[in-house]
Structure 1
Amino acid sequence: MKQNSLRATVRARLSGLHDAEARVAHVVLDQGAQLVHLSVSDVARLAGTSASTVVRSCRRLGFGGYQELKIAAAREAPPEPRDELDPLTATVRAAQEALGGLPATLSRTDLSSAAEALSGADRVLMAATGLSGAIAVDAAYRLRALGLPVDLPPDPLTAHLAAELLPQRSVCLAISHSGATRTTVETARRARAAGAKVVTITSYASSPLAEESTWVLLGGGQDLVFGMEAVASRLAHLTIVDTLSMILLGLGGGRSERAVSASAEVTADHSY
C-alpha cells in the first residue's frame, strides 16, 4: 500500500461503518503512522470499544486484521498538524493526499467496465448538482468530444424526465461527493429502473447513490474546514473523468478519432 493509501481507504469506507466501528476508524485516521506503537487493546481503549470490534472494523475497512492495518500504517508518512499549515499549504496538501489515495480506492476493474459501458451507450445522461455540477459539465464536454451522445439536463426535473425515457443501451453518469444528494440519487434510480447502467463518481463507498449504481468509481479528499472537503474531492473526481476519457479514446477507434479532430477544429475556429 502506497503513502496516503491508508487514509484514503479508511475515509472512503467511513460512512458505511456502525458507531463503534466508526470510532475505530477515526482512531486510525487520528493516529496514522503512530498505530505501529499501539496494540489492538490500545486502539480499543481509545475508541471506547472492545478488541474484537477493532478487529472486525479492520476487516470492514478492507484489511485482513489489525496486523495488516499496522503494516499499512507503517508505510504512512506522519502528516503535519493542520493548525500549523497556512491555508495554501493545507489546500495543496489535501489535494496531494486525495490524488495520492486514488490508486487505493479506485477499482481498475470497475473503471474498465464503466468505460466499456459508456463506449457502447446509445445515450449518456449526466446527473449532478451543486459543486459536482461543474465536474459534470467538464465530463459532458470530454465525452462529447470523443463522439458519445451526451445529455446534460439543466435542472433536476428535466434530468428525472430524461432518465425515465432512456433507452436500455444507455448509461447514467452520476457525480456526487457525498453520494447523498437527493436529486442526483433520484435521477440514478429512475435511469436504473429504465434499464440503463449507472456509473457513479463519488467519495464514499457506502451511500444512497452507491446503492443505485452498477459501478462506483471511488476517490475523494479529507475534510479541512467547513465546506473544504469538496476542494480535494473535485480534483480526484476530475482525475477519474480524465482517466475514463483516456480509456474511451482507445475504445472508440475511428469514431473517437473523428470526434477529437472535429473538437480540435472547433477550438481552433474560436482562437485568435
Structure 2
Amino acid sequence: MAKSAVNAADSEAVLIRIRAALPSLRPSERRIAQVFVDSPSEGATLSVAELADRCETSTTSVVRFYKRMGYSHYKDLLMDLTREAMRQEMTTSSLPPVSGDIGRNDSLDVIVAKVAINETLSISDTARSLDTEALGQAVTLITGSRRIDTFGMGAGSLVGLDLQQKLSRVGRTVINWSDPHSAWTAAATLDSSCVAIAISHSGRTGDTVDFLTVARESGAATIAITNFHTSPVASAADVVLTTSARESAFRSGALGSRIAQLMVVDCLFTAVAQASYDTSVEALRNTYRVVHDRSQGGAR
C-alpha cells in the first residue's frame, strides 16, 4: 500500500499500525519498528542510514520496513511519526514527562506516571482505531441472542467477567467461563441463537482460540476482542473488535492490554443497552434499587 493510498486516518494511526504488525515482522524489521514505538519523536529525526546503524541492520531492511507500512517515501513516514509524537505529548501533557518501560531504579512517582501515560494512550489509541461498523455488528448479534458465553485466560477472564456483570444488569443471559474445559464443553452446546465472545490480547492463546472455534462449529455467532486483527482468534471470529494497547509479546514490561479491553467492553455494553434504551434504563434502575435496598437493610 503506497503512501498515496494511505488516507488521513491511516496516517494519524501510524504507531497503531506498526504495533499491530510487530508479530509478523522479520527480526530486523522488528528492531526498526521498536525504535519508533519506544520514541516516535526521536525516531522521526533519524535518517535511513542512522536508523539502520542503530538497529544493526541494512538500509535495505529500513526501506523494506517503511514500504511494508504503506509508504513510498521514508520522509512521509517521518512526517506522520512527528505528528503522532505531538499528539501523544498533547494527550499526556498533564502527566510527568517520562517514557519507556518500568526500570529497576524507578521511583514510585515515576512508576505511577509511566502506568498513567501507558493506560491513557492505550485508551486513546483504541478509541481512534476501534471499528464502529464491527462494533455495530457485535451489538446486533448480542441483542438478537438468547445466550452469550464469554471466555479468556488470565486478564482476559477478568474482562469477560466484567462484560458478564454489565450485560446481566440489562437482562442479558451471560455466562463467563474461567476454566478452558468448561468453556469448550459449553461451546459445544451452543447453537445459532447464541453468541460466543473470546478475549485475548495476543489472539494466540490456544485455549481461547479453541473455545471460539468450537463455538463456531456448533453454529454460534463468534466475536473476538484482541489486539491483532490477523491473529488466530480473529480468524475464528465473525466479528473482530480490535484494541490498540501499548503492550506486545516482545516487551514483557509493557502495560495496557486490560484497560484497552475494558474500554471496548464498556463501549459494547453501552451500545447494547442503548439498543433497547427504555428497557435497559428500567433494568439498571431496578438492579441499583435492589442492591441499594438490600445493602441498607443489612447495615441496619
Question: How many Å apart are 1:52 and its aligned residue?
Answer: 5.4
Q: Does 2:266 align with 1:242?
A: yes
The answer to whether structure 1 residue 29 and structure 2 residue 37 are counterparts is yes
Matches within 5 A, 1:1-272: 5-49=13-57, 51=59, 53-58=61-66, 60-61=68-69, 66-75=74-83, 76-77=85-86, 80-82=98-100, 83=103, 86-219=110-243, 220-222=245-247, 228-229=253-254, 231-272=255-296
Q: 2:198 touches 2:223 (CA, 8 Å); kept in 1?
A: yes
Q: Distance in 2 between matches of 1:27 and 1:228?
A: 16
SS in 2 for 1:217: strand
Query: Cα distance 1:263–1:142, how it changes in 2: closer, same or farther (>3 A)?
Result: same
Using CA pairs below 8 Å that are at least 6 residues apart, which structure has the higher relative contact order? 1
Distance 1:38 1:137, change over 3 A: same
Kindly provide the CA deviation profile for residues 112-142 of structure 1, in whole angstroms up to 9, marking residues without a partner as x.
2212222212221101121221111111011
Q: Taking structure 1 as the reference length, what is the TM-score of the superposition?
A: 0.85
Number of aligned residue pairs: give it: 271
TM (norm. structure 2) is 0.78
| 1:228/1:29 CA distance change after superposition, 3 Å | closer
Identify if the C-alpha distance between structure 1 residues 52 and 226 changes in structure 2 by more than 3 Å, giving closer, same or farther: closer
Over the aligned positions, Cα root-mean-square deviation in angstroms equals 3.0
The amino acid across from 1:80 in the alignment is: V
CA distance in 2, matches of 1:194, 1:70: 48
**Residue matched to 2:4:** none
What SS class does the counterpart of residue 198 from structure 1 fall into?
Answer: strand
Q: Give the share of equivalent positions with the same residue, in percent.
A: 27
Secondary structure at the aligned position of 2:17 is classed as helix
Looking at structure 1, the residues matched to 133 and 51 of structure 2 have their Cα atoms a distance apart, in angstroms, of 34
Task: Rate the CA distance shift 1:49–1:266 in 2: closer, same or farther, 3 A.
Answer: same
Partner Cα separation in structure 2 for residue 147 and residue 95 of structure 1: 31
Give 1:242 shift.
0.7
Q: Distance in 1 between matches of 2:63 and 2:251?
A: 32
- Gap regions ≥5 residues in structure 2: 1-8, 90-96
